[in-house]
Amino acid sequence: MAGIIESSPAHQNFSRYDIRVIIKFSVILGKDASCIHKDLVTVLRENAPSIQTVRKWVKAVSEGRDDMEDEPRPGRPETACGDANISKVLVSLSDDRRKTCEEVSTETSMSRAPVFRVLTNKLNNNKKFSKWVPHLLIDGQKESRVNFSRNFLRRFQTEQNDFLGRIITGDETWVYSWDPETKRQSAEWRGFDEPRPEKVRRKQWSLKVMHMIFFDMNGVILRWPVPIGTTINAHTTRRCCMTNSDLPFERNDPGCWSQASCFTTTMRQSIRPGQ
């Protein structure tokens, strides 16, 4: 029987609670700590508790302890996440909610880990990225876009790729002298029930150049840096579409304009300010 117990792996998977119950049962049978420890080593081998642990629980059971579970531990006090530090973090974020944990840590003289715990656990915040908000369209503009889209779809069903090759798309964009604000840079600390921050357009930096760009399915046709003070409207667009224009075309293909069936653009009237 002893050989069966020693070779059986099932008898070696005892939890701490199981071992303590065995010690309690053995104490009730009148066994001392040395005898109980010997029995445990016979069954559990290297997984058996030390003689000091067995003596501690034998003493506890002998003194009347019935519960074999661990007593709850208070744990480390959260002094770093106390009310004082929570107030420091709130004050630091009051003027700029985009600050990183490192920046808040520097301002509050707190370590980065407590700052992160205050933000996420105490204030229930997380960083939310800004979302682009489209420009609002009136009903007439919406209806016009739907009609154009339906017309394009009908023509594509009839002409297929020949129609796609005759579409020229134009747009305008600001080219900055350095990179604008990134998505991560625009993230703010917000509560879980708070909406994401919004940004309608990029910040207006002083060192920038407006470019008008036209392209078709084969690539860029025209990339034009707009002169200062030029009004971007239908007249400016027509100038770009003239085959005899003096603008710097990317592709030496004068026929692409004359063969175009339609032009699409997302441009709105604007004036490039002086620098």
Domain with 17 in it: what CATH number? 1.10.10
Residue 223 lies in a domain: yes
How many domains would you assign to the chain? 3
pLDDT tens for each residue of 42-52: 988 888 899 99
Tokens linked to 94: 């009051």
Sign of the alpha-carbon dihedral angle for 158, 160, 162, 166: positive
Question: Would residue 130 count as lying in a domain?
Answer: no
Task: Please report whether residue 134 resides in a domain.
Answer: no
Query: So what's the pLDDT on residue 107?
Result: 92
Phi-psi region of 194 (alpha: psi -120 to 50; beta: other; left: phi over 0): beta
Picking from 89-98, 116-125, 262-271, which range would have the lowest pLDDT averaged per residue? 262-271
Query: Does 15 share its domain with 93?
Result: no
**Higher local confidence (pLDDT), 80 or 65:** 65
Q: Are residues 234 and 111 in the same domain?
A: no
Q: Please state, rounded to an integer, the average pLDDT across all residues of the chain.
A: 77
> Rounded to whole angstroms, what are the CA distances from 103 to 21, 111, 146?
53, 11, 48
Label residue 197 by pLDDT band (50, 70, 90). Answer: confident
* Whether 84 and 195 share a structural domain: no
Task: Tell me: pLDDT of 6 over 60.
Answer: no
Identify whether residues 44 and 168 lie together within a single domain: no
Both 168 and 91 in a single domain? Answer: no
In this structure, are residues 26 and 68 in contact, taking their beta carbons and an 8 Å threshold? no
Residues 84 and 32 in one domain: no
Which of 11, 33, 62 is the last residue before a domain boundary? 62
Angle formed by the axes of helices 83-94 and 101-108, nearest 10°:
120
Q: What is the pLDDT of residue 259?
A: 60
pLDDT at 272: 39
55 or 131, which is more confident: 55
Q: What digits encode the pLDDT tens for the residues 68-116? A: 887 766 655 567 788 889 999 999 999 888 899 999 999 999 888 899 9
Residue 131 pLDDT exceeds 50: yes
Per the structure, the complete domain to which residue 147 belongs is given by 139-271
Are 41 and 110 within one domain? no
- Torsional sign, CA 158, 161, 162, 163: positive
Specify if 67 maps to a domain.
no
What percent of the chain shows pLDDT beyond 70? Answer: 73
Asked whether residue 179 is assigned to any structural domain, the reply reads yes
pLDDT at residue 150, as a whole number: 92
**Residue 71, domain member (yes or no):** no
- With b for 16 or more beta-carbon neighbours within 10 A and e for fewer, the 71-95 pattern comes to eeeeeeeeeebeeebeebbeebbee
Q: What is the pLDDT of residue 7?
A: 44
Between 208 and 43, name the one with better pLDDT. 43
Strands (E), 131-191: 131-132, 167-176, 188-191
* Confidence label for 268 from pLDDT (cuts 50, 70 and 90): very low
Q: State which amino acid sits at residue 133.
A: V
Tell me: do 255 and 146 sit in the same domain.
yes
pTM: predicted TM-score of the whole model, two decimal places: 0.35
pLDDT mean over 115-144: 83
**158 and 93 part of one domain:** no
Span of 60-64, 177-181, 270-274 with lowest mean pLDDT: 270-274
159 and 47 in a common domain: no
| % of the chain with per-residue pLDDT over 90 | 18
Q: Are residues 118 and 143 in the same domain?
A: no
Please state which of the ranges 53-67, 86-100, 210-224 shows the lowest mean pLDDT. Answer: 210-224
Q: What are phi and psi of 209, to 5 degrees?
A: -135, 130
Q: Is 217 within the bounds of a domain? A: yes
Residues 153 and 39 in one domain: no
Mean pLDDT confidence for 6-12 = 50
CB crowding 3-36: b at 16 or more within 10 Å, else e: eeeeeeeeeeebeeeebbebbbebbeeebebeeb
- Does position 274 have pLDDT exceeding 60, yes or no? no
Query: Does residue 74 lie within any of the structural domains?
Result: no
Output 133 or 210, whichever has higher pLDDT.
210
